[in-house]
Structures are given as C-alpha cells and as structure tokens.
C-alpha cells in the first residue's frame, strides 16, 4: 500500500481543566507539532455554543495558526456558509491568502454547526443572513468564488453596474473545498469542478457512495482538471493499545452525549470519564463509534490509515486527534493529542 499524506482537523476542544485561553494555547502548540512533523494542512472547524468546543470562528483561528507555523497549509473545516454573508467570508479568506499566500484553504459547509436557537441567533437574530441561506448554498458558494477572484463580481443595479471585490488587488486566491456528510455537497462540488471532502470522521457511513458520486459526475475546471478529495478520521495513537483506548474515552463520552441528547459539558479528563456510569445501550453506541476510529499502537494506526486510504482511493488522510488528557496535564497543552500526531507520522514514515 502507498503511504498517504497526513493532515489535521482541530475543533479546539475545551477540557474540564481548561479556560478558552488554555484551549487556544493548546491548539497553537498542536499546530506547531503538525508543522514540524510534515503534515500537509491544518483545518479548524466551526461550532457554536458548545461547552467543549472553542472553534467558533475559523478565520480567526486560521490566522492564529498560520502566524504560529511556517509551512503547513491552514484553513477551515469548515466555514458554515449559511451562517454568514458570502462577502464577509470572501473578505476574510482573501485577507488570509494575502497574508499567507499559497497556504490557505477555504472549506465550506452547509450545516448550521449548532443547535436551532443558536443558528437563529447567528443567521437572523441581528437582522443578518436570511433564513433561507441553507437553500441558497449553491448560489452563495458561487458568490464567494467570484468575489475572491481578482476580477470580482459585477452586480447590475438600477443605478448602474457595481463591482464587488473581496480585497482590492488579489494576487492569488485560497483553494476552495466543499464539505459534506450527504450527497448534496458531493453533487455540487462535482458540478462546480471543486475539491470535496466527505465527513467520514463524523458519520463513518456513506463515504464510498458519496466519493463515487463525486468522481463519476465531476466536471473539470481550469483550477482542478481532476476530482480531488481526501479522507477524515478520528484518531488516538499511544505506545500501547490499552492506553490508546483509555485516552479515547473522554471523546467517546462527549460523542455519546451529543448523539443521545444529553446535556453537553466541557470535555472530561480521562479519570472523570472512567468514573461516569454509562447505560449498557450507550456503551454499545460508544463501542460502535470506536470501531470506525483509528485507535491503537503506532504500527496498528499506520496500517489502519494506509488501509483507509487504499479503500477509498485517496492520497491524503486528515486525522482529528481526539486523545484526552489525564489529571496533572498542563492546562495550556494537549500532550496526548500531540503524541498522536508524532507517533502516527513516525510510523507512516518508517
């Protein structure tokens, strides 16, 4: 099997022993490890009003990470476009590209990334983005692409033609990716000749079908003559399989709570997660999730990553490092997440 390139997805998790400032410091440190270890790209997610997630604003986080690293590509995984005016997104990422040319990715998603009340506050609470933004996602994708181009986009108004540009004199543009967990974005990406990523790390189902649909319907574009995609997967790598499973437990508890409608809280420490009494049905749900993750020793994890890449025909795997922390861990670091990146990179290179 060939060895795929590695990338990172980060939600900037907030543990029970951390403040938001601590979580952001840990993200900066993790990005530095990814940069040092030769990872290809580092993407920040968008989630709102979640006690365990500090990644509310991908362009702000991407700027922070880009400034703290030297070569790795940075971007969004992704910006939930219905939450924002297309011009604002285009301006943000045009400026990022101007500041860090050739290093910026703009991943666009259609989901809200939050609960319905918070979605309303984001989209309509201040009289901002219209309530039908999700239905107009294809048009908004086209608008972002046009506004970020050096030519801008022309609007024909009663008073005459008006040109909108995301930045005055763009010399380059970010690479735009469409993200999704259904076939909607696969079809849209194929029709626009854009790169596409299916959220395998989130659902673990429907990946092969979505990628096959994308590849079969792909319409070549000037920037992307061939379909381009990669795989995302949750990962915990440790010296022993037992330790890896133990470090995965806090994130398993968080995901089970999310899927079963339990109150959400900051991510537990490993010892706190071990002390939680879990109904048998929820334990089975957690075990089912774990079977879709990469959890194990470096050699086992490397073999799983190679197998995933071969199964889905991709040359890149984006890992979401979900290893938890034990008591006494420095609040501003995530050593087990950093170690996951180091051990996996070394095992794949060996």
pLDDT digits (tens, 9 = 90+) for 1-23: 689 999 999 999 999 999 999 99
| pLDDT confidence tier of residue 200, bands split at 50, 70 and 90 | confident
Label residues 30-46 b or e (16+ Cβ within 10 Å = b). bbbbbbebebbbbbbbb
pLDDT at 268: 97
The crossing angle, in degrees rounded to 10, of helices 335-349 and 298-312 is 70
Per mean pLDDT, which of 53-62, 107-116, 285-294 is the most reliable? 53-62
Residue corresponding to tokens 């970010």: 174
- Inform me whether the pLDDT recorded for 223 exceeds 70: yes
pLDDT at 313: 96
- Inform me whether the pLDDT recorded for 134 exceeds 80: no
| pLDDT confidence tier of residue 162, bands split at 50, 70 and 90 | confident
| pLDDT confidence tier of residue 350, bands split at 50, 70 and 90 | confident
Q: Which residues share a beta bridge with 134?
A: none
| pLDDT confidence tier of residue 158, bands split at 50, 70 and 90 | low
pLDDT at 129: 57
Rounded-to-integer distance, Cα 340 and Cα 319, Å: 9
- Inform me whether the pLDDT recorded for 131 exceeds 90: no
pLDDT at 339: 98
pLDDT at 203: 65
For residue 260, the number of C-alpha atoms closer than 13 Å in the C-beta half-sphere is: 16
Mean pLDDT of the chain: 92
pLDDT at 151: 84
| pLDDT confidence tier of residue 182, bands split at 50, 70 and 90 | confident
**For the chain, domain boundaries:** 5-349
Rounded-to-integer distance, Cα 218 and Cα 211, Å: 10
Collapsed DSSP state (helix, strand, coil) of residue 297: coil
**pTM of this structure:** 0.94
Rounded-to-integer distance, Cα 92 and Cα 270, Å: 37
Instruction: Tokens for 309, please give them.
Output: 């890449």
pLDDT at 115: 81
- Inform me whether the pLDDT recorded for 127 exceeds 60: no
- Inform me whether the pLDDT recorded for 87 exceeds 90: yes
CATH number of the domain at 5-349, please?
Answer: 3.20.20.30
pLDDT at 128: 55
The pLDDT tens digits of the residues spanning 209-218 come to: 999 999 999 9
Average pLDDT score over residue span 113-131? 69
For the ranges 141-145, 226-230, 334-338, which has the lowest average pLDDT?
Answer: 141-145
The crossing angle, in degrees rounded to 10, of helices 58-68 and 86-99 is 0
- Inform me whether the pLDDT recorded for 91 exceeds 90: yes
Average pLDDT score over residue span 46-72? 97
pLDDT at 152: 83
| pLDDT confidence tier of residue 254, bands split at 50, 70 and 90 | very high
Contacts of 227 (CB under 8 A, 6+ apart): 190, 195, 196, 214, 215, 218
């Amino acid at each position: 099997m060939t060895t795929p390139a590695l990338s990172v997805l980060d939600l900037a998790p907030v543990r029970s022993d951390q403040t938001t400032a601590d979580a952001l410091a840990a993200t900066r440190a993790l990005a530095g490890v990814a940069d040092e270890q030769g990872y290809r790209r580092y993407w920040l997610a968008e989630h709102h009003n979640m006690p365990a997630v500090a990644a509310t604003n991908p362009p702000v986080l991407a700027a922070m990470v880009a400034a703290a690293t030297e070569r790795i590509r940075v971007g969004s995984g992704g910006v939930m476009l219905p939450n924002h005016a297309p011009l604002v997104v285009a301006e943000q990422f045009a400026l990022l590209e101007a500041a860090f040319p050739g290093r910026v990715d703009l991943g666009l998603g259609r989901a809200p990334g939050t609960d319905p009340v918070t979605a309303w506050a984001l989209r309509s609470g201040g009289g901002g983005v219209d309530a039908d933004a999700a239905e107009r996602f294809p048009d908004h994708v086209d608008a972002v692409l046009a506004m970020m181009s050096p030519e801008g986009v022309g609007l024909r108004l009663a008073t005459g033609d008006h040109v909108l540009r995301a930045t005055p004199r763009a010399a380059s543009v970010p690479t735009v990716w469409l993200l999704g967990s259904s076939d909607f974005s696969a079809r849209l990406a194929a029709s626009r000749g854009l790169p596409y990523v299916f959220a395998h790390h989130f659902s673990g189902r429907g990946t092969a079908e979505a990628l096959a649909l994308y590849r079969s319907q792909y319409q070549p574009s000037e920037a992307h003559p061939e379909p381009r995609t990669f795989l995302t997967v949750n990962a915990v790598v440790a010296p022993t399989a037992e330790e890896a499973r133990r470090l995965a437990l806090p994130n398993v508890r968080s995901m089970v709570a999310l899927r079963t409608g339990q109150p959400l809280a900051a991510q537990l420490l490993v010892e706190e997660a071990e002390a939680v009494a879990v109904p048998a049905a929820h334990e089975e749900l957690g075990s089912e999730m774990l079977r879709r993750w990469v959890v194990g020793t470096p050699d086992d994890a490397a073999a799983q990553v190679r197998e995933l890449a071969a199964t889905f025909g991709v040359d890149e795997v984006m890992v979401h490092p979900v290893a938890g922390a034990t008591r006494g861990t420095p609040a501003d670091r995530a050593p087990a997440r950093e170690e996951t990146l180091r051990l996996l990179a070394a095992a794949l290179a060996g």
